[in-house]
Structure 1
Amino acid sequence: MTKGDKNAMEMIIQEYQKNDIPWFIGYSGGKDSSSMLSLVFNALMKIDKFHKDVTVMYCDTGVENPIVTDYVFETFEKLKKECTLHNIPLKFKILKPKLNDRFFVKVIGRGYPTPTNIFRWCTDKLRINPVKQLIEKDDKAIILLGIRNTESEQRDRTIKKHKTVNEYYLKQNGSSNKIIFSPIINHTLEDVWLTLRYSDFPKSIDFSKIRDIYQDAESECPAYKETKGSSCGNSRFGCWTCTVVRKDKSMGNLIENGYSELKELYEFRNWISEFRNNEKYRCDFRRNGVKGLGPITLEGREIILNRLLETEKESGLNLISDEEIERIYELWEIDKSNKKYIEKNALQNWL
């Protein structure tokens, strides 16, 4: 165990025993959150008496990279058994966005264009809000995140802006009762990999699997908002539908390295990235009645749904739920009967 790991574990033990404020760990399956979870697990093994639970949160947006989602679900099941074996007070929560906030309900049901740097609606709807709904049930909460110094210039600016007297704590943007605690804030990239490589526990966190999936990883999609506008656009892994970045290099690399089941998803992602800009399938009016590039038309949304269902069939992966499809059809009917919804009609028809 490295000196950095020992210091982090001492800090975890000290902070856990300090008060009754509930802990929530943001977990993505990536190297940083896995390293932090490993240290928390090992620290808790050194405590004789537990006075509060620690909740490990994973946000399943519904469009996560299937390779990562499968790994996380498998890891959670193993961790539950390992926690029972060692009497570790970790609880595991898989969070999902509300039905109306899910990616395909927004895009195919409501006609949202897929996210861009200008219109990046996805992070709040898919990731931040589900976590907030869980955490804000408590008056106070401490959110453990795998944030590190020197990870990137942008991250360093964020840490500097939100730092507190205690270097391990950061102020939570927009909340005085919620605070971020990062035990690995002083870990280097090498430290993170060493933690995963040489930790005896938990055995459920598979270093080899993480290394294989996340080789050359640099960042993860946020599990809880650190600053206004925080995004996962430059993340190594995130949603397979992500169109914020021009090219999903990680998905392309995975396919080249043998994950052939992702090929159809990759092609769909590239197709919809172009389709969203086709003005033929975009309304001439926004939903507020103002003339301008508006939602995807009903015809366009039907084309996307059919292409998605075809992709689902070809890939053999479950890409959209029955309840999402049902809600999409309901939203189509609402638009069809809404006199204020305009596609290509003249504005005076609405007036």
Structure 2
Amino acid sequence: MFNKDLNLNTVNFIKNEYLKDDIPWYLGYSGGKDSSAVLKLTFNAMLQIENHHKKIYILYCDTGVENPIVTNYVYHTFEKLSLENELHKLPFIFKILKPKIEDRFFVKVIGRGYPTPTNIFRWCTDKLRINPVSDFINKSGRSTILLGVRKSESEQRDRTISKHDSGNEYYLKQNNSKNKMIFSPIINHSLEEVWITLKSLELPKSIDYKKIREIYQDAESECGAIKTEKGKACGSSRFGCWTCTVVRQDKSVKNMILNGYNELNELYKFRNWIYEFRDNKNFRCRKRRNGIEGLGPFTIEARKIILNRLIKTETKSGFKLIEQEELTKIYELWDSDINNPKYFE
């Protein structure tokens, strides 16, 4: 059962944590339910403070291969949040971060020839998500990073929380950094409490509870926004990259297509195609880049095939899937390999 005082207590707690020092805050926002709940609670905490002595950066990392339905929602939400921030004279600064051009997904795969990620070679997370945020935050020295981390989400999440225990249940240690602490004001919230927080807090109006609920419902085969005796609460879906080949099947995109997002169909077909194409030995170099015999990068021919398929997918879907600067970098990398005597297909 939801504790009616939970939101009030959490808002007051965030306010007091904000006021206690001058260490800058960075809030990681994905558009999902947990980060949206943290942002709503923090927004309401700032409404209670008259003089804001430090900025709060709201960071969204656009990897370039996020589910475009979610990305479009985030961009639209950021525009509206900026207006609400100005209206209430709050200390938020909204930043959309992107990976370096050489680290973009299609530059790596089509330009450099990286095989798409697997559980064994999962090169994507650091380059696409972690590094852009870390590079931005590292400029400030000491920092507090607000995340929607919660206990009891999964056994793996609980192990991670335990591993980074700081002695304060709301704070976690950051990997390899003494200057950064992770602050999760909803660490003890249940899934149901997250949804009720989103529904019950009126401000900011820009965070649309109904829209978030709709996306989650459409991404899961069966769920209710708030748990009832006959259903389960939404929240098991992860809105990651539409190109993800770490998993065997992208169930969330598949379910969204079944629930009417037909524009995702071409992206879903491309993802399934490249999942199979990745392991075709005929399109992989016989040597790795370190010169050792073995399944190496995609051949130039394979990269051209992937690019042509991607451009067709872009045209059919109507989504912008690759930028001109990425194409320029891809052609540069092709020329580099073609003219490199140590490169063997």
The residue correspondences of 1:140-159 to structure 2 (distance < 5 A) are: 140-159=142-161
How far 1:294 moved relative to its partner?
0.3
Which residue in 1 is equivalent to 2:319? 317
Aligned partners of 1:216 and 1:327: how far apart in 2?
36
TM normalised by structure 1 equals: 0.92
Conserved? CA contact 2:27–2:58, under 8 Å: yes
1:277 aligns with 2:279: yes
Quick check: 310-319 or 158-167, which moved more? 158-167
Match for 2:254 among 252, 255, 259? Answer: 252
Aligned partners of 1:256 and 1:136: how far apart in 2?
42
Match for 1:12 among 2, 14, 17? Answer: 14
Which residue in 2 is equivalent to 1:171? 173
Aligned partners of 2:121 and 2:335: how far apart in 1?
25
Aligned partners of 2:177 and 2:257: how far apart in 1?
41
Local SS of the residue matching 1:136: helix
Aligned partner of 1:282: which letter?
R
Which residue in 1 is equivalent to 2:228? none
The residue correspondences of 1:55-204 to structure 2 (distance < 5 A) are: 55-204=57-206
Aligned partners of 1:216 and 1:331: how far apart in 2?
39
Change over 3 Å in CA distance of 1:257–1:216 after alignment to 2: closer
Local SS of the residue matching 1:342: coil
Aligned partners of 2:49 and 2:340: how far apart in 1?
60
How far 1:316 moved relative to its partner?
1.1
Q: Deviations over 1:17-47 (max 9, x none)?
A: 0111000000000000000100000000001
Aligned partners of 1:5 and 1:76: how far apart in 2?
23
Aligned partners of 1:3 and 1:182: how far apart in 2?
18
Conserved? CA contact 2:218–2:259, under 8 Å: no
Which residue in 1 is equivalent to 2:33? 31
How far 1:217 moved relative to its partner?
7.5
Match for 1:267 among 266, 269, 277? Answer: 269
Q: Deviations over 1:207-245 (max 9, x none)?
A: 000000023889xxxxxxxxxxxxxxx962110000000
Match for 2:299 among 288, 297, 300? Answer: 297
How far 1:4 moved relative to its partner?
2.1
Aligned partners of 2:315 and 2:50: how far apart in 1?
51
Gaps of 5+ in 2: 221-235
Aligned partners of 2:120 and 2:327: how far apart in 1?
27
Aligned partner of 1:52: which letter?
K
Q: Would you identify which runs of 4 or more consecutive aligned residues in structure 1 move more than 6 Å? A: none
Number of positions where the alignment pairs a residue of Structure 1 with one of Structure 2:
328
Aligned partners of 2:192 and 2:215: how far apart in 1?
17
Conserved? CA contact 2:219–2:255, under 8 Å: no
Conserved? CA contact 2:56–2:92, under 8 Å: yes
Identity over aligned pairs, percent: 66
Aligned partner of 1:152: which letter?
S
Match for 2:211 among 209, 215, 219? Answer: 209
How far 1:59 moved relative to its partner?
0.2
Local SS of the residue matching 1:25: strand
Change over 3 Å in CA distance of 1:235–1:174 after alignment to 2: farther
How far 1:8 moved relative to its partner?
1.4
How far 1:163 moved relative to its partner?
1.4
Local SS of the residue matching 2:140: coil
Gaps of 5+ in 1: 219-233, 344-351
Aligned partners of 2:219 and 2:40: how far apart in 1?
18
Aligned partners of 2:155 and 2:218: how far apart in 1?
18
Local SS of the residue matching 1:240: coil
How far 1:77 moved relative to its partner?
0.3
Conserved? CA contact 2:219–2:253, under 8 Å: no
TM normalised by structure 2 equals: 0.93
Local SS of the residue matching 1:215: helix
How far 1:3 moved relative to its partner?
2.2
Aligned partners of 1:110 and 1:97: how far apart in 2?
16
Local SS of the residue matching 2:172: strand
